[in-house]
Amino acid sequence: MIVITGAAGFIGSVLAKTMKSLYNGEIVLVDDFSRPEKESNLQALQGMMQLDRNMFFEWLSEGQSIDAIFHIGARTDTTEFDYSILEELNLDYTKKVWSYCAKNDTVLIYASSAATYGNGDFGYDDNHEVVERLQPLNPYGVSKNEFDIWALKQDKSPQHWYGLKFFNVYGPNEFHKARMASVIFHAFNQIQDKGEMRLFRSHNPNYRNGEQLRDFVYVKDVVSVIQFLFDRKPKNGLYNLGSGTARTFLDLTKSVFRSLDKEEKISFMDTPEDIRDKYQYFTEANMAKLISVGYSKPFTALEDGVSDYVQNYLLGRKNF
């Protein structure tokens, strides 16, 4: 039996459908299934057991035999400034999942975040030695980093555990994410509606408009890495999960225009004040650790990922 939390969300639903096609055992989906905007993600997941997240631990206490928990569920809103919400969902809830896995010899793969790296003063290396010195730029990043710090201090751990520092994940099944959806999703919609794309203006003298750099990683690659860790069970710890190559927002936007066979029309607007001081201008995952434990599959190039996402999913409003 495999449990996937956040299974009705973006990464969780793609992971659940993939595991359904590959895994012979039972797959249990955990989420807040009352949210109607996630309904389209659930349509391809029929036949799997569904558990409300508030009933999950009661169900676990009934003596289930679980091989692995893929804990993808979290509050991912980087504009959420009520830390008590993030503490409850991203920190306390995850501690309970960890404790169950440690007690019951259950593999744990959980979602951390590249938001833990803040402005990158300490680099983007998934080195355990720097975790306590990292300075995330928003409460979401703080909540993720606080759990990483807690996990590394535990005397009793799951036999196999992996915290994945997701960089900028994009791809199908993010229709429900609204403001938090990928820039590719927003670019597609703006170009279709208005024939143009407006990007955030740079407020950092070291970066020209549109040349802010991020590590964009396709959701299919994320799922591939999770499968690898579950199958191979390498050394425990935190692992970066990006493409390993930083690209500009202009690169991304131009790829969307090409995928739609439309003429480029790009303009710039001020970054909203509520996130301006918390904005990451550069992220790039150091993928050496994951490669060192045997992961050898190439990551999807941005242009190829955008083309697949736009042409095979967004244009027909199709889910994975």
Which residues does the annotation mark as catalytic? Answer: 140, 177
Q: With the C-alpha atoms ordered 112, 113, 114, 116, is the resulting torsion angle positive or negative?
A: negative
- Within 13 A of 72's CA, how many CA atoms are on the CB side? 27
* Beta carbons of 134 and 122 less than 8 angstroms apart: yes
Q: Cα(19)–Cα(102) distance, rounded to whole angstroms?
A: 23
* Beta carbons of 187 and 256 less than 8 angstroms apart: yes
Q: Cα(17)–Cα(109) distance, rounded to whole angstroms?
A: 17
Compute φ and ψ for 170, nearest 5 degrees. Answer: -135, 165
Q: Could you tell me whether strands 213-218 and 168-170 are parallel, antiparallel, or unpaired per DSSP bridges?
A: parallel
Reduced to 3 states, what is the DSSP secondary structure of residue 84? helix
